[in-house]
Amino acid sequence: MARYQPPVVDKNSTFAFFFLFLYSAAVLIRPHEMSLMSSQWILIKVFAITTLLVTLMAQRPLKIYPQHWMLLFLSPLVIISGFLNGSGMIGVGQANAFFASSIVPLFLFSNCISTLKRQHWIMLVCITAALLMVHNGHVQQTDIDWSGWALDTHAYPLFGTEHRRITYLGFFHDPNDIGMFLVMNIPFVVYFYKRGKFFTKLLAFLILLALLYGVYITHSRGTALGVVALIGIYYLVIKAGAKLFLAAMLASPLAIVILTVLQSNVDESASGRLEAWYAGIQMLTSHPVGIGKGTFADHHGLTAHNSYVLVAGELGFLGYSLWGGALLFTVLVSYLFIKHAETENLDDESKDELMMNKTLFFSMSGFMVTAFFLSRSYTVLLFLFLGMSMASHHRVITKIPDLAKYVTGALALRCMLYSWSVIIVVYMALKLTL
């Protein structure tokens, strides 16, 4: 397969990005859901369709990457898996939902965020949304009725304790989703801290403290581990060599499973999580094409509590290869840019693009860690951040064409195989410890 070659001339549509900005705010901040009168408005769909139409008409060239094809092929696979398991029409509905909430945002973000300035605007939307979630959660922590200022949002108790778990609007009603989003925003705040002067650094530091406080009041162990993992990954990427980084990445699923096994002796939820992981792998071996998207809980009674196992169980060998390959390929390309970019003779714009690539690498790393404990394989957050990373790769290659050698179809195919290391390590650990 031919290597990716960036186009010489880009025609950036300001109009398309304007609607992408509105779409991002609607998805993440969800202002229309703060009022009872507007809570049923379909703003997100309107902005998504408008952005897509304007992008198709005005954005040139339209860039198609290996990740687009890999994830696009999941849609017919979802339908096929549904029909083979007796839930054909459910599969059609799931495929349509996946295309609208995953493929379309991925395409728009990867094409419309064509400048560093545009990326900054999207990052500011993300940070604003994160701060609103934290503030609403703080109100829930202090309110006598556990209510937040956002419409109909209420904290709920952490089982067996007096702690309150915070919630927000839309799909952020789950504190785990809030925690994941906060972790993915931490690199954004650090980015602005490093670039800014005194006032910006002070503001970024205060925002970082707010995000850490938000992670705490979600009472999500997976997201807390995600914060710790970001620090460890930073050390491995910046200080360690490629071999040590690879060894740590392969060993981390094993370490996580062992920790979960040890915790299961005193924690019923941890024990249930291990059982779900094992059930997901059994689904994979008994249904090579998957049991059908959205049916894991129907077979096991509970969700997988692991995004990797969830996809493997629901979409089988090919489905996981496509999903895991797209995820790993994106992160691996970012890593290769970090390790192999020569910065000595670069101009400031090129250095800024490399810095953004590094930032998005850590955001995606935050997702990969927290996703190990959550069933968030199809969350829109994943595809928004994937799209940002893909747009960043294009901008980096435009500035530094020599790095195009790392963005190849051959590497994408190898990543489909490499992604199975997670499932294999989890399976081996479960066999050894259960």
pLDDT tens column, 118-133 = 999 999 999 999 999 9
- The structure's pTM equals 0.91
Distance of CA 17 to the CA centre of its chain: 21
Tokens of 178: 């809030």
The percent of residues in the chain predicted with pLDDT above 90, rounded, is 59
Cα torsion through 215, 220, 221, 226, rounded to 10 = -50
Residue 400 · residue 350 · CB < 8 Å = yes
Residue 213's nearest CA partner among 130, 332, 329, 295 is 130
Provide the residue count of the chain: 434
Please, what's the b/e burial string for 162-193 (b: 16 or more CB within 10 A of its CB; e: otherwise)?
Answer: eebbbbbbbbbebbbbbbbbbbbbbbbbbbbb
Which sequence spans correspond to the domains of the chain?
121-433
Instruction: Grade residue 220 by pLDDT with cuts at 50, 70 and 90.
Output: confident
pLDDT at 23 over 70: yes
Alpha-carbon span 104 to 19, nearest angstrom? 14
Q: At what angle do helices 221-238 and 198-218 cross, to 10 degrees?
A: 140
Taking residues 391-417, report their average pLDDT: 93
pLDDT at 84 over 70: yes
Taking residues 335-358, report their average pLDDT: 89
Place of tokens 């031919």: 2
- Mean pLDDT rounded to a whole number for the chain: 87
Which pLDDT score is estimated for 244? 61
Alpha-carbon span 190 to 180, nearest angstrom? 17
Provide CB contacts within 8 A for 422, sequence distance 6+. Answer: 253, 308, 324
Instruction: Name the range with the highest mean pLDDT among 34-48, 94-108, 199-213, 265-279.
Output: 199-213
Instruction: Grade residue 318 by pLDDT with cuts at 50, 70 and 90.
Output: very high
Instruction: Grade residue 161 by pLDDT with cuts at 50, 70 and 90.
Output: confident
Residue 284 · residue 300 · CB < 8 Å = no
Q: What is the pLDDT of residues 32-44, one digit of tens each?
A: 999 888 888 899 9
Residue 413's nearest CA partner among 67, 180, 154, 131 is 67
Residue 180's nearest CA partner among 148, 150, 207, 220 is 220
Neighbouring C-beta atoms of residue 334, cutoff 10 Å = 26
Tokens of 214: 């938000």
| Measured CA angle at 153 (ends 35, 103), to 5 deg | 80
Maximum separation of any 2 CA atoms in the chain, in Å: 62
Which DSSP letter does residue 92 get? H
Lowest mean pLDDT among 78-92, 145-159, 162-176, 208-222: 78-92
Tokens of 195: 């670039």
The percent of residues in the chain predicted with pLDDT above 70, rounded, is 89
pLDDT at 328 over 70: yes
Q: What is the pLDDT of residues 252-310, one digit of tens each?
A: 665 555 555 545 444 556 567 778 888 889 999 988 888 988 888 888 877 888 899 99
